[in-house]
Chains A and B, each alone.
Chain A
C-alpha cells in the first residue's frame, strides 16, 4: 500500500449459512436433545464463576454453535470450571454441565 490512510477495510461479519458446516451442531443436539430448549436468557452466563475472571461466556458459545462457527470453541470451552452454578439457575432446567462436557468431546477432542 503506497498511501497510509490511517484505517483498513473492516472484514465482513456476515455469516453465510450456505457455507457453514452444521454437522457438529447436529451431533450435539442428538447427544443432548435438551440443548434445543435453551431460550438464550443468559442466566448461565450471569452466574458463571469462570466469567468472573475469564472471557468465558456460555451464551456466546451457544450462539457460535448455532451459527456453525466452531473455530474458537475449543479454546473457550477449556475455561469452564464445571462448578454447575449455571445448572442451578437455568429457567428451562437444562443440565448444562453434561452439555459442556459433550461440547468438549465434540469440539475439543475431535
Chain B
C-alpha cells in the first residue's frame, strides 16, 4: 500500500540525451558546479548532454520582479526550446531551480491556454524566424543525479560518514521553492515529501536532519533582497532556519537551488558580522554545498576545481571529517596557473 502511494509521488525522468541550460547566477557563485554536473554526466554516467553555446537567460529574476512581462518571458523560453529542437534534443535540463519553475509554468500555461501558445509561436517567428517544440521531458539536474544515485555510488571514493566517529554525517537538505512548491507533481516526492536531496544523502551514507523549519523559505524570494532596504526580511528568513537547525548540529547543508545555496552561505557571514553569532560550535559556520559539489567531493574530484574556495563558509573541516585529501597550497590557484590574491578574512567567521 505504502509503495503504491509513493509511486504517485514520483516523476518521469529521461534516461539519456539531454539538452542542458546553464544558470545566470550559478557560474558566479558556484563556478565549479555546472562543470562538475557535465563531467558527472559524461565521465561517470556516460550520457549524451548538450551544452549549447547560444543559450541565454530564462528571464526568471526579471519575471519574478515584475520587470519582464509574461509574453516576453514566453517568447524567450520559446527561443531556448527552439535551440533544443535545432540541436535535435527533446529532454530539457535547466541548471537553475528558478528556470525549472519558469519552464514548468510556461508549459502549463500553454497546455491550458492554446491561444497563448499560438501567440508565442507567432511572436518568436516574427522576432527571430525560429520555430520551437515543447520538450517531451523536463527534469532538473538534481532529478537526474537522484535517478542515477546508486550508479554514482559505485564510483564514489568517499561516503557521507565521519571517519573519526564512524557515524553518518548529519546533513540538512534544502529544496528550492520553485522546484516543487509551484507545480508539486513536477518534483520527486511532490511538495509534501521532497525526496530529491534526501534520497542522495541517504544513498551516499549520510543522515538527513529533520528540523522544525525544514521547509521554510531560505530568504532568497527575489523581492526580499533586490532592494537593499528590504534585505533585513531576507536575512530574517535564513536566521529562522539556522536557529531551528542549530540544536541538531548539522555537519553541512546541501541545496538544489542557486538562490538557497548563495543566501544560506552568505547570510551566515552577515549574521556573524551583525550579531557575532555562528551556528556551529567552533565558529566556522555550517558549510553549504550544491548537490553537484557534494557528489563531486564523494567522487574524488579536486575540491578547488569544484570551486569550494569561492564559498563564504569554507569546507576544510567537512573534508577532514570525510577524509577527503586536498592540497591547501592550491586553494587559490587560478586556471592560468598563477596564485590569485587571497580574500580578506571575515572578522567573526573563522576560516
Contacts and interface: CB of A to CB of B under 8 A. Distances in A.
A5 B233 contact: no
B240 A12 contact: yes
Contacts of A83: none
Interface in A1-58: 1-3, 5-12
Nearest to B347: A2
B229 A6 contact: yes
Contacts of A10: 232-233, 235-236
A6 to B, nearest CB: 5
Given A1-B274, A2-B273, A7 B236 contact: no
Given A11-B236, A12-B236, A12-B240, A6 B274 contact: no
B232 A7 contact: yes
A34 B164 CA distance: 65
B228 interface: yes
A7 B273 contact: no
B130 interface: no
A47 B229 CA distance: 35
Contact of A7 (B229, B239, B240, B347): B229
B273 A1 contact: yes
Contact of B231 (A1, A5, A11): A5
Contacts of B271: 9
Contacts of A12: 236, 240
Interface residues of A, number: 11
A11 to B, nearest CB: 7
Interface residues of B, number: 16
Contacts of B66: none
A9 B235 CA distance: 6
Contacts of A2: 273, 347
B261 to A, nearest CB: 20
B275 interface: yes
Contact of B228 (A1, A3, A7, A9): A7
Given A1-B273, A3-B273, A9 B347 contact: no
A2 B344 CA distance: 13
B264 to A, nearest CB: 15
A10 B233 CA distance: 5
A2 B272 CA distance: 10
B267 to A, nearest CB: 9
Nearest to A13: B236
B10 interface: no
B229 A8 contact: no
Contacts of A5: 231, 270, 273-274
A38 B235 CA distance: 37
Interface string B322-351: 000000000000000000000000010000
Contacts of B239: 9
Contacts of A11: 236
A57 B240 CA distance: 31
Contacts of B230: 7
A19 to B, nearest CB: 15
Interface of B: 228-233, 235-236, 239-240, 270-271, 273-275, 347
Interface of A: 1-3, 5-12
30 contacts: A1-B273, A1-B274, A2-B273, A2-B347, A3-B273, A5-B231, A5-B270, A5-B273, A6-B228, A6-B229, A6-B231, A7-B228, A7-B229, A7-B230, A7-B231, A7-B232, A8-B232, A8-B274, A9-B232, A9-B235, A9-B236, A9-B271, A9-B274, A10-B232, A10-B233, A10-B235, A10-B236, A11-B236, A12-B236, A12-B240
A-B residue pairs, 6 tightest by C-beta: A10-B232, A10-B236, A7-B231, A7-B232, A2-B347, A6-B228
